[in-house]
Amino acid sequence: MVTTLSRKDRLFTAFNAFVGICILVLVAYPLIFILSASFSNPSEVAAGHVRLWPVKPSLMGYRAVFEHQNVMKGFMNSGIYLVLGTLCSVTATLFAAYPLSRKDFPGRKFFTFLFTFTMIFSGGIIPTYLVVRSFGLVDTRAAMILPTMVGVWNVIVARTYFSTTIPGDLLDASRIDGASDFLFFFKIVLPLSGPIVAVLGLFYAVEYWNSFFNALLYLNEPDLFPLQLVLRNILLSSEIQQNELIMNVEEIAMRQGLHDLLKYALIVVSSVPVLAIYPFVQKHFVKGVMVGSLKG
Amino acid sequence: MQQIRRAWQLYALFAIPLLIIILFRYLPMYGAQIAFRDYRVAKGILASPWVGGKHFLKFFRSNAFGRVVGNTFGISLYALIASIPFPIILALCVNSTRRKGFRKTLQMVTYAPYFISTVVMAGIILQLLAPRTGLITQAIVGITGETNLNIMADSSVFKSVYVWSEVWQKTGFNSIIYIAILSSVDPSLHEAAVVDGASLLQRIRHIDFPALIPTAVILLILNCGQILNIGFEKVLLLQNSLNLQSSEIISTYVYKIGLASSALNFSYPSAIGLFSSAVGLVMIALVNWVASRLGEESLW
């Protein structure tokens, strides 16, 4: 539909572009600032001289990050939780979603209710903690995965995908050929489920990478801490302990700057794995949000 | 019965996720009865003495009650209202942008903050608002000339810090669904409107905008149900002793007296948590009932 724009419409188009640019700047500027700050010189950061681009570029912040023992350990732990957790969660979610998508699954309504009810009501933090503790899961890696392994929202997304993309005729046809439910699910449904597996994998991977809640509640052993918990301890510590009697003003500024620099570099390094894969999976991601919002 | 036996393979698949849900969702609901007991770890749940509503009354009468419940509702309602218009504005803006490249960039950039973890988000906020060196602190000092500005120590602006950082982070993500709805609006409506001489703005007002309303209502209902359990992680991370007056919410309070303190007192915080869950359940039922009475969309 190509039409020449009236004067009014041209005015609106210009206004719209202006709004778009404002939003873009508001969202992008803090991100660019953090990136620039992380590459700047510590004393310039402490003095607040960084505005848009790095000032006196240096890699000191990143060196500090990679020399930090706890950070590296946190990266490793988070990697383990991400891989194992995503595997378990995607599998369990598909196993829950497929039966719920089958109209001939006895008890379908009841089980759907059982799952969705947990989205609007919960026993609370303390009783959940006591349950996890009574299973002996406190201070184990399993505590990072099992309690939140099945995301009910994701089950609904996957169920909707199955019931809208797997034709009922397919099931009837393979039944006539004598296929069991297992055979049908593993040989026919799963190979058709590439997109939903990608979506679930992405959702869960991001969730595990960013997860902080389980670690806060169930882990006391520093060797098991995921990156997010290590980050909290560094990012939220306000001032470094400094013996101001010994140090001169410049040195204090340098120390403070280095501490800030470490924080900026940490913010960048810890967010990069997720942000780097995101452009490639954006399409799947948007699709996933859409499937989940379908009613029914 | 025969039907059930025939579906045994479906049940076999279903068993693992069902077990997880029962163990980690329903067992805690059963365990929540310690809110009505004086729970002693050594005795177990059933042997601990039944005390009825004692812990609930204690909470209702405590000094913390008004402050904590007020803060929870205050932050949630503020966030709820502030987060409605922006995704809609962004979606309309994206949809009306003709340049494909700019459109893609706008979507890509605005979605990105959603992937930042809560911990990192809190870190970013604290860095930008840090006294003396923070970017935003410097900007405000530059305008007002105020010295010794420490935003995170000011309890009167805590809610705004929480809410507007939330808007910054989530607007792009929340606009996805609206953008998709706009792209599925029947093009013949627009064509007819153009024939009738409608301007772009009129078409947005009378065709695009109304198409978004049902979804906006559903999202509002869903969010109302979540009103009492939002933001535990972020609030906890942004809290400090100076802003506690306006930053202590139900969930952080429960966490502190239940798990972060050395006294093994589980019944009292459980009662507070259960109260919060129950209010949430009532809220979602209420909002859904109101919405269906008004003839708008309803959840069930």
The answer to whether A94 and A200 are in contact (CB under 8 A) is yes
In a domain, residue A14? The reply is no
The CA distance from A259 to the nearest CA of chain B, in Å, is 11
CA–CA dist A53, A263 (Å, integer)? 17
Q: Out of B10, B119, B135, whose CB is closest to A99?
A: B10
Instruction: Report ipTM (2 d.p.).
Output: 0.84
Q: What is the pLDDT of residue A243?
A: 46
Which residues of chain B make contact with A209, given a CB cutoff of 8 A?
A: 117
What CATH number does residue B250 fall under? Answer: 1.10.3720.10
Cβ-Cβ contacts under 8 Å, A210 against chain B: 115, 117-119
User: How far, in Å, CA of A245 to CA of A262, rounded?
Assistant: 24
Specify if B136 maps to a domain. Answer: no
A295 vs B contacts (CB less than 8 Å) = 218
pLDDT in tens, B189-198: 888 888 888 8
| Residue A258 structural domain | 68-293
| CB pair distance less than 8 Å for B7 and A181 | yes
Residue A53 lies in a domain: no
DSSP assignment letter at B50: B
Residue B270 in any domain: the answer is yes
Q: Which residues 14-33 in chain B show a CB within 8 A of chain A? A: 14, 16-18, 20-21, 23-32
**Where is average pLDDT lowest: B48-57, B162-171, B188-197, B217-226?**
B217-226
Task: Give me the CATH number covering residue A157.
Answer: 1.10.3720.10
Token reading at A38:
């992380």
Structure tokens given for B119: 């911990």
DSSP B78: H
Question: Is A181 in contact with B233 (Cβ distance < 8 A)?
Answer: no
- The number of distinct structural domains making up chain B is 1
A3 domain-assigned: no
User: In total, how many domains does chain A have?
Assistant: 1
From B197, which residue of chain A is nearest by alpha-carbon distance? Answer: A6
The model's pLDDT over B100-112, given as tens digits with 9 standing for 90+, comes to 889 888 988 898 8
pLDDT in tens, chain A (296 residues): 455 677 888 888 888 889 999 999 999 999 988 888 888 877 777 777 777 788 777 777 788 888 888 888 999 999 999 999 999 999 999 999 999 998 888 999 999 999 988 888 888 889 999 999 999 999 999 999 999 999 998 998 899 888 888 888 888 888 888 888 888 899 888 998 888 898 888 889 989 998 888 999 999 999 999 999 998 888 887 654 444 455 566 666 677 777 888 888 888 988 888 887 777 777 777 776 666 665 43
Residue A81 is predicted with a pLDDT of 95
The partner residue sitting opposite A120, judged by closest CB among B26, B116, B280, is B280
Residue A144: the pLDDT is: 93
Of B18, B122, B215, the CB nearest to A236: B122
CA distance to partner chain A, nearest, from residue B36 (Å): 12
The answer to the question of residue A15 being in a domain is no
- CB contact residues (below 8 A), chain A span 175-214, against chain B: 180-182, 185, 206, 209-210, 212-213
Q: Cβ contact (<8 Å) for A128 and B28?
A: yes
Identify the residue with better confidence: B292 or B34: B34
Please classify residue A167 by burial: count the beta carbons closer than 10 Å to its beta carbon, then call 0-12 exposed, 13-18 middle and 19+ buried.
Answer: exposed
Q: Indicate the SS3 state at residue B119.
A: helix
A282 and B CB contact within 8 Å: yes
pLDDT at A233: 85
The single-letter DSSP state of residue A115 is H
> Model confidence over B106-137: pLDDT tens digits?
988 898 898 888 998 988 898 888 887 788 88
pLDDT at A279: 73
Q: Specify the higher pLDDT residue, B294 or A209.
A: A209
Q: How far is A277 from B51, CA to CA, in rounded Å? A: 53
- B281 belongs to a structural domain: yes
Q: Which domain holds residue B67?
A: 36-109+172-293
- Pick from A16, A266, A275: CB nearest B115: A275
A26 within some domain: no
A184 CB-near residues (< 8 Å, 6+ apart): A171, A174, A175
Nearest CA in chain B to A235: B123
